């Protein structure tokens, strides 16, 4: 008779892993005690318990605009002419504050109001929100992340929440088989289903990017992991995801980190894919055109015209083992969702007159670029050097650009043919400033941007100017592109 096997025996590798986890947990506990912070899971659980104690919704009009922030969501109200701002974060170089405030903006009265409703979600950033007209209006929130003030702890959510605009009450929707915890993902609404793609999760030791696609039925409240046929987008976060009609999704761009051996490099994607629902299921196919090579793009869709709008972002200009530098953009692009074709959105005052005289254009040199700088933004008037070939262009008067300045991870929304841009992050002199300005653009007239909330002077920065000393700002600089 053979020797009886011990079913409870644990391998040496498992024991080693368990010891390592215990050591890391004890180390973290000591670090948190030094910083005066509690374990992040306990903090989140306590916040959720406190929010559940609220018995009725309380509304109040804000005396002024919201605080500066990025990685929030700005969602068009599904019924009224309002914008809904939820969550986001603010970082001053030393500490991070994460929000769960629910704010409503009326562009007619120019009034902001805050709604504190029973059972609100814990604070989060880099989440996703969509709105639907069903049941007199609902907004749905999935995922995101919570960061402790010292940025020593990060927590990724996998929860799903529904806010009733009629009853002014939150509901945590519990359903199995949903996506894993993540932030930087994207979510859209097609018919009566939510669709979630991509994102990333970072536990401090390993950062993982996702390429999975899930759907959630609002009627049955069930998750389904989809497995479209064909080659789809690679794992990424911070991509652009836009709905088209009732049976198609367009995904383009995004950001990820690619590890090769012991080295790691960043990758900003420019490919475009369309997922289409057919009788046999979903299918991926690559399409022509694609996003500009920038991460942290803000995106909004006008479902009445099947056009998407993409603003800002950051393009990597230099990457070494110790440093990653990028250049911010203030470009606004429009996407024809039927053809996936992109082009810059040109305002009427920027277009040449139809009877303008065609004259040779001198090729610009380094001296042709004029830099205008103030305490907030820097503008370059001119263009980059081009190959020395003969060309013709239209002679037109030059006018300084209006509207939002260059930034990444801003909030973008289309409501009743008006495009809105709020907040985001401005990088200046190795510092990151969170913005609180708001702009609107009439998509019918395309005349000029309107400044709704002007950006005050830049907030104080408490981080170190030296990367060697900035232990707190290092992760913010490296990971900010992942989160939007």
* Of 345, 458, 354, 446, residue with least CA distance to 396: 354
Tell me the per-residue pLDDT of 331-358, one tens digit each, with 9 for 90 and over: 999 999 999 999 999 998 877 766 655 4
pLDDT band at 400 (very low <50, low <70, confident <90, very high): low
Residue 241 lies in a domain: yes
Q: Is residue 41 part of a domain?
A: no
In-domain check, residue 318: yes
- State the total domains in the chain: 1
Please, are residues 140 and 132 in contact by the beta-carbon 8 Å criterion?
Answer: yes
280: in domain: yes
Please indicate, yes or no, if residue 88 is contained in any of the structural domains: yes
Judge whether residue 1 has pLDDT over 60: no
Is the pLDDT at 109 greater than 70? The verdict is yes
Quick check: 462 pLDDT over 50?
yes
Q: Distance (Å, rounded) from C-alpha 131 to C-alpha 243?
A: 13
- Rounded CA-CA distance 130/138 in Å is 8
Residue 318: pLDDT band (50, 70, 90) is low
Q: What one-character DSSP code corresponds to residue 356?
A: P
**Distance, C-alpha 410 to centroid of its chain:** 7
Model confidence over 237-249: pLDDT tens digits?
Answer: 999 999 999 899 9
Mean pLDDT (whole number) for 433-462: 95
- Predicted local confidence at residue 321, as pLDDT: 59
Q: Are 446 and 345 in contact (CB under 8 A)?
A: yes
Residue 365 is assigned to a structural domain of this protein: no
pLDDT tops 50 at residue 68: yes
According to the model, what pLDDT value does residue 214 have? 98
Tell me the pLDDT band of 195, cut-offs 50, 70 and 90: very high
Q: Which of 13-27, 128-142, 149-163 has the lowest mean pLDDT?
A: 13-27
Dihedral-angle region of residue 20 (phi above 0 means left; psi in -120 to 50 means alpha; beta otherwise): alpha
Residue 1 maps to a domain: no
* pLDDT higher than threshold 50 for residue 396: no
Domain containing 319 equals: 50-348+402-483
- The helix or strand, by DSSP H or E, that contains position 300, with its residue range, turns out to be strand 298-302
pTM score, two decimals?
0.81
The most confident of the ranges 33-37, 363-367, 394-398 is 33-37
Check whether 266 has a pLDDT greater than 70. Answer: yes
CA–CA separation, 10 and 3 (whole Å) = 17
Look over the chain and give the mean of its residue pLDDT values, rounded to a whole number. 82
Strand-by-strand arrangement of the 213-217 sheet? 186-190, 193-197, 213-217, 222-226
- 111-120, 197-206, 257-266: lowest mean pLDDT where? 257-266
Tokens at residue 453, please?
Answer: 């909330």
Query: Percent of the chain beyond pLDDT 90?
Result: 64
Residue 273 belongs to a domain = yes
Highest mean pLDDT among 370-374, 387-391, 458-462, 463-467 belongs to 458-462
Residue predicted with more confidence, 12 or 146: 146
What confidence score (pLDDT) does residue 481 get? 46
Q: Residue 107's pLDDT is what?
A: 97
Beta carbons within 10 angstroms of residue 475's beta carbon: 17
Q: Identify the CATH number of the domain in which residue 76 sits.
A: 2.120.10.80
pLDDT, residue 51, reads 95
Q: How many other CB atoms sit within 10 Å of the CB of residue 70?
A: 29
Long-range contact pairs involving 369-373 (C-beta distance under 8 Å, separation at least 24): 372/400
């Amino acid at each position: 008779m053979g020797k009886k096997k011990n079913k409870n025996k644990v391998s040496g590798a498992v024991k080693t892993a368990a010891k390592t986890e215990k050591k890391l947990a004890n180390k973290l506990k000591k670090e948190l005690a030094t910083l005066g912070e509690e374990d992040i899971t306990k903090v989140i659980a306590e916040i959720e318990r406190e929010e559940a104690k609220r018995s009725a919704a309380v509304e109040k009009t804000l005396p002024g605009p919201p605080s500066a922030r990025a990685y929030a969501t700005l969602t068009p109200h599904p019924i009224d002419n309002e914008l809904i701002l939820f969550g986001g974060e603010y970082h001053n170089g030393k500490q991070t504050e994460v929000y769960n405030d629910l704010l409503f903006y009326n562009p007619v009265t120019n009034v902001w109001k805050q709604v504190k409703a029973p059972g609100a979600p814990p604070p989060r950033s880099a989440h996703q929100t969509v709105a639907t007209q069903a049941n007199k209006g609902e907004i749905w929130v999935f995922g995101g992340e919570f960061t402790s003030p010292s940025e020593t702890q990060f927590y990724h959510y996998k929860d799903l929440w529904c806010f009733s605009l009629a009853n002014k009450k939150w509901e945590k929707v519990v359903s199995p088989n949903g996506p894993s915890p993540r932030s930087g993902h994207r979510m859209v609404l097609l018919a009566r289903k939510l669709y979630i793609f991509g994102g990333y999760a970072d536990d401090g030791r390993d950062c993982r990017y996702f390429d999975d696609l899930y759907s959630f039925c609002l009627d049955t409240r069930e998750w389904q992991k989809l497995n479209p046929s064909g080659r789809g987008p690679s794992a990424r976060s911070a991509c652009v995801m836009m709905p088209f009609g009732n049976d198609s999704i367009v995904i383009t761009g995004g950001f990820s980190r690619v590890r090769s051996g012991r080295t790691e490099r960043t990758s900003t994607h420019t490919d475009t894919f369309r997922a289409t629902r057919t009788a046999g299921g979903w299918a991926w196919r690559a399409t022509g055109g694609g996003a500009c090579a920038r991460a942290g793009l803000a995106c909004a869709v006008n479902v009445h015209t099947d056009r998407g709008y993409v603003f800002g972002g950051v393009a990597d200009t230099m990457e070494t083992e110790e440093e990653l530098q990028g250049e911010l953009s203030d470009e606004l692009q429009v996407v024809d969702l039927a053809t996936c074709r992109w082009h810059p959105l040109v305002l009427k005052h920027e277009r040449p007159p139809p009877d303008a005289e065609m004259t040779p254009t001198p090729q610009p040199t380094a001296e042709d670029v004029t830099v205008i700088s103030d305490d907030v933004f820097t503008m370059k008037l001119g263009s980059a050097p081009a190959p020395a070939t003969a060309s013709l262009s239209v002679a037109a008067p030059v006018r300084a650009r209006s509207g939002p300045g260059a930034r990444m991870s801003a909030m973008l929304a289309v409501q009743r043919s008006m495009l809105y841009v709020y907040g985001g992050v401005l990088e200046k002199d190795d510092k990151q400033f969170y913005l609180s300005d708001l702009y609107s653009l009439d998509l019918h007239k395309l005349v000029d941007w309107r400044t709704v909330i002007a950006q005050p002077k830049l907030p104080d920065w408490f981080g170190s100017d030296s990367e060697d000393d900035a232990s707190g700002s290092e992760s913010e600089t490296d990971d900010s592109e992942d989160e939007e």
